[in-house]
Amino acid sequence: MTALTPISRTPVSFYVSVVAAAGALAGLFVGTAQGSGLLGIIVGAIAMGALAFVLTQVIKAEKAGMWGSVVLLAIIGFLLGGIPALVIGALFGWFFSWFSFWLYEGRYRRKLPPYLTPGQVLWHFAFRVICGAILVFLITPILVVMPLSFNAENFFTFTPEMLRFDPAGYSLKHYRDFFNSSDWQNALRNSVMIAPVATLLSVGFGTLAAIGLSQPHVPFRRAIMAILISPMIVPLIISAAGMYFFYSRIGLQGTYIGVVLAHAALGIPFVIITVTATLVGFDRSLTRAAANMGASPIRTFFKVQMPLILPGVISGGLFAFITSFDEVVVVLFVGSAGQKTLPWQMFIGLREQISPTILAVATLLVVISVLLLTTLELLRRRSERLRGMSPS
Amino acid sequence: MKFTKMLLASTALSAVGSVALAQEMSNDMTIVSWGGAYQNSQLKAYVEPYQEMHPEVNVVWDESSNEAVAKLRAMNEAGNITWDLVDVVASDAIRLCDEGLAMEYEPNELLAEGDDGTSAEDDFGDLIVSDCYIPQIVYSTTFGYRTDMVPEGAEAPTEICSVFDLETYPGKRALEKRPINNMEWALLCDGVAKDEVYDVLATPEGQEQALAKLGTIKDDVIWWSAGADTPQLLADGEVFMGSTYNGRLFSVIEEQDQPVGMMWDAQVFDLDGWIIPEGLDEARLNRVKDFIKFATDTQRLADQAKYISYGPARQSSAPLVPEDMKQHMPTDPANAGNTFLYNYEFWADYRDDIDAKFQAWLAQ
């Protein structure tokens, strides 16, 4: 199909104006950072439109043009704002020269079917740009936090040293703070002691409930399901206040078991939902067949049913774990200072002293979550492949 | 023979006595404080020394002083007091005392007498503003400004009214998101004499006047609610000047080396101290009493001033404050040239009313 689509050079009015529009967008960001967004739009549009025209009509050689604009914009960047701007300028130079030639030579159509109308081509790329923008929007706040956690100062500030990439502006002291402070270590220990136990309880009760509720003969299934899922739907602060008064009366408030039970109650709905979803595809005749062969219901469950619904159980357990690990509202009510968890410690840290130690912890948590999810996903794929269940 | 017997008996008795005393004291203590540098000064000045003397005592910190009133109410309602000692500002202590959530105490009985022999009641003097309140330190709310953002040709600000002077000192200001202090400063800078501020503020016209004055800078104000906000905003250069507690500014200037200057003019003094929640059982109460006697004695309060620039609440502690810290104290004569006395009674009476007006004005 690739070879079938003929490509041809596009008119100047088309690609210069598209590059100018992209330049205006880049100019908006640069201009806003420098103080005037409007000026940035105008300068960006004119400069990048002119660059595209010169590259394709005057220089014509793609390699030379690309390197030329990388160097040119890097120098302009350096003169305007030092080393960080140099890097940004070089990236801009690379992108806009590539973008100009890509449009000019019509290469953008090469991978598309030849029968697409211009409107469909436009939508094809607009869709990708929108998806990319959403991704950037979701992930930027997390990425911004990471370099700040290596700040040498005690504030949430990109210092001039950091922007100059001066090693003196960076340090690991907030990571040391985290590992040396007894407050943070206690909080970490509490979180690590609470979350897995709460997860085990959620997974156990949630899976049993889901299996029970999937039996057609259980009366009031929908009502029971609604009650079990309610902790997920009721605003957290209401559950928390209710639990506080209830647990206080029965002596569970401020105890380790109280927090574990509260978190288990929050985690159960996630397990029920994911396990119910996998049970929909479960063939009941398998359990009948197992019974026919003389297996007890418990043996049937562990040997036949459990392996088949395992992906649902694991992802439900993962959600339950993350819920407990991230939870701050309920633990503020149900826990006492002795059960201070990591999110609690981060919360008071943010309020009382804005210290980048919080960012160091956040970075570590992000890294751990990514590793955890990747491992689980790999394990899941491996077990599916081994059992020949993989769709691919 | 008789003498030995008596001796033995009395030793046995005192042994029994001390055992009984030890049994009555709980070994766990939950202390509520503010977190940050302030809590650290408490830890260094008296909690750690106390734990050295009593290694069996386990202290848990809860950084909930900000919402102490609400949480104590909830605990009281649930019938489950988990806190042993709570650090609050004076106005909160007065409220808690009025509601019966804090324990009333007898100063000369509970607190140690001063090193110079003055009774505790005289040593703390007027600072015991409520029957439940055990003052620790005097702090002030004052302004800090970025020294490198003072406009060319202008003097560094030294007067409270430069906060309202956008022409000489353009730039953002950080003010606390509540009427207390802001209303007083606004009136002071709108030509009201210092001793008439609260009389004027008691009238609806006076409140309007204060809000109108604040309105002149409203577009340039970033409102803060946690003590850590202004230091962060100053360090970022996000604001030119901002109000916060003097100890926070001390830490920004002396410990973090930021280009920030102090503007002590019209600083507002306030108190911070302990309350003991009502309804503790015998064993916990005994431990708290034992701790508090130690933690508020002359030497301990002076020690605290080594770690943070707040003035000790005991008169007898003042001479023991280290020389190099004295210049950073809000009470130092060089800094206390023009101070403003916070009126607890006024704010106890008018707080709800003025709060509502202030919040409505903010939302406009």
Contact between A337 and B30 (Cβ < 8 Å):
yes
Stated as kind and residue range, the H or E segment containing A331 is: helix A329-334
Q: What is the pLDDT of residue A388?
A: 66
Q: What is the pLDDT of residue B5?
A: 53
Of A157, A249, A351, the CB nearest to B226: A351
**Confidence at B13, pLDDT banded by 50, 70, 90:** very low
Q: What is the pLDDT of residue A163?
A: 75
The residue among B210 and A159 whose pLDDT is bigger is B210
Q: What is the pLDDT of residue A268?
A: 95
| Interface contact A244-B77, CB threshold 8 A | no
Task: Tell me what the mean pLDDT of segment A192-201 comes to.
Answer: 95
- A157 to chain B: closest CA residue: B236
Of A153, A244, A338, the CB nearest to B60: A338
Contact between B121 and B107 (Cβ < 8 Å):
yes
pLDDT beyond 50 at B14:
no
Q: What DSSP line would sit under A29-71, residue for residue?
A: HHHHHHT-HHHHHHHHHHHHHHHHHIIIIII--HHHHHHHHHH
Q: What is the pLDDT of residue A159?
A: 77
Q: Is A189 on the interface with B (CB under 8 A)?
A: no
Q: What is the pLDDT of residue A112?
A: 82
Phi, psi of B241 (to 5 degrees): -140, 155
What percent of chain B stands above pLDDT 90? 50
CB atoms within 10 A of CB A226: 11
Q: What is the pLDDT of residue A82?
A: 77
Q: Which residues contact A189 (CB under 8 A, 6 or more apart)?
A: none
Q: Is A154 on the interface with B (CB under 8 A)?
A: yes
**Confidence at A1, pLDDT banded by 50, 70, 90:** very low
Q: Which of residues 282-341 of A touch B (CB under 8 A)?
A: 336-338, 340
| Interface contact A348-B35, CB threshold 8 A | yes
Q: What is the pLDDT of residue A34?
A: 75
CB atoms within 10 A of CB B321: 22
Span A301-330, pLDDT tens digits? 888 888 888 888 988 998 899 889 889 999
**Confidence at A208, pLDDT banded by 50, 70, 90:** very high
pLDDT beyond 50 at A27:
yes
Which of B28, B39, B43, B62 is the mutation pick for testing A, counting most A CBs within 10 A?
B62
Q: What is the pLDDT of residue A179?
A: 92
The residue among A7 and B152 whose pLDDT is bigger is B152
Report residue A239 as tokens: 């559950």
| Interface contact B35-A352, CB threshold 8 A | yes
Q: What is the pLDDT of residue B333?
A: 81
> Does pTM surpass 0.90?
no
**Confidence at B16, pLDDT banded by 50, 70, 90:** very low
Q: CA-CA distance, A239 to A323, in Å (whole number)? A: 14
pLDDT beyond 70 at A218:
yes
Stated as kind and residue range, the H or E segment containing A364 is: helix A357-386
Q: What is the ipTM of this complex?
A: 0.72
- B28 to chain A: closest CA residue: A338
Q: CA-CA distance, B172 to A323, in Å (whole number)? A: 39
In order of A51, A98, A101, A178, the CA distances from A57 in angstroms are: 10, 15, 11, 58
Q: What is the pLDDT of residue A382?
A: 79
Q: CA-CA distance, B80 to A251, in Å (whole number)? A: 8
**To the nearest whole number, what is the mean pLDDT of chain A?**
87
The residue among B86 and A59 whose pLDDT is bigger is B86
**Confidence at B17, pLDDT banded by 50, 70, 90:** very low
Measured CB to CB, residues of chain B less than 8 Å from chain A are: 30, 32, 34-37, 60-64, 66, 74, 77-80, 82, 226-229, 231-232, 235-236, 256
pLDDT beyond 80 at A371:
yes
Least confident of A45-54, A71-80, A208-217, B15-24: B15-24
Q: Which residues contact A101 (CB under 8 A, 6 or more apart)?
A: A55, A56, A62, A65, A66, A107
In order of B3, B6, B7, B34, the CA distances from B10 in angstroms are: 11, 6, 5, 46
Task: Tell me what the mean pLDDT of segment A256-279 comes to.
Answer: 93
pLDDT beyond 60 at A60:
yes
Q: CA-CA distance, A222 to B266, in Å (whole number)? A: 66
On chain A, the residues whose CB falls within 8 A of the CB of B76 are: none
Residue whose tokens read 């600083």: B267
Which of A354, A358, A359 is the mutation pick for testing B, counting most B CBs within 10 A?
A354
Span B226-243, pLDDT tens digits? 888 898 899 888 899 999
Q: Which residues contact B176 (CB under 8 A, 6 or more apart)?
A: B141, B182, B223, B224, B225, B243, B244
Report residue A202 as tokens: 């959620």
**E strand intervals along B197-315:** 221-224, 241-245, 260-275, 311-312
- B58 to chain A: closest CA residue: A338
Using alpha carbons, select from B217, B215, B240, B218 the residue that is nearest to residue B230. B240
Q: What is the pLDDT of residue A4?
A: 59
Report residue A189 as tokens: 């220990």
Q: CA-CA distance, B165 to A244, in Å (whole number)? A: 49
Q: What is the pLDDT of residue B199?
A: 93
| Interface contact B78-A248, CB threshold 8 A | yes
Report residue B216 as tokens: 């002149």
| Interface contact A337-B226, CB threshold 8 A | no
- A245 to chain B: closest CA residue: B78
What percent of chain A stands above pLDDT 90? 30
Task: Tell me what the mean pLDDT of segment A177-190 comes to.
Answer: 90
Report residue A373 as tokens: 């999810």
| Interface contact A248-B62, CB threshold 8 A | no
Span A135-167, pLDDT tens digits? 999 998 888 888 888 888 888 877 777 777 778
Q: Which residues contact A160 (CB under 8 A, 6 or more apart)?
A: A169
Q: What is the pLDDT of residue B251?
A: 85
Of B62, B80, B228, the CB nearest to A337: B62
In order of A320, A336, B168, B198, B221, the CA distances from B217 in angstroms are: 49, 42, 13, 22, 6
Q: Is A32 on the interface with B (CB under 8 A)?
A: no
Q: CA-CA distance, B297 to B56, in Å (whole number)? A: 22
Of A156, A245, A353, the CB nearest to B35: A353
Name the minimum distance, in Å, from the CA of A125 to any CA of chain B: 39
Using alpha carbons, select from A316, A340, A46 the residue that is nearest to residue A204. A316
